[in-house]
Structure 1
Amino acid sequence: MSGTDTRTHGAADAGRRRTGRRVVLWRHGQTAWNLERRFQGSTDIALTEDGVAQARRAARLLASLRPDVIVASDLKRAAATAAELAQITGLDVSHDSALRETYAGAWQGLTHEEIVERHGEQYSAWKRGEPVRRGGGELETEVADRAAPVVLHHAEKLPEEGTLVVVSHGGTIRTTIGRLLGLESHHWESLGGLSNCCWSVLGEGARGWRLLEHNAGTLPEPVLGDDD
Structure 2
Amino acid sequence: MNAGRGPVTRLPSHLCAQALHYLLFAYRGGQLLRRRPTLGSHRWPAFGNPGDGITLTIDDGPHPTWTPPMLDLLDAHGVRATFFLIGDRVREHPELARRVLAAGHLIGNHSMTHPQPFAALPRPMLRAEIDRTQREIEDATGITPRLFRAPGGNWSPAVLRTTADSGLTPVDWTVNPSDWRSPGVERITRTLSRTRPGQIILCHDGGGDRSQTLAALTAVIPRLIGRGLRFVTVAEDR
The TM-score, its normalising length taken from structure 2, stands at 0.31
Kindly name which structure, 1 or 2, has the bigger radius of gyration based on alpha carbons: 1
The TM-score, its normalising length taken from structure 1, stands at 0.32
* Structure with the higher strand share, 1 or 2: 1
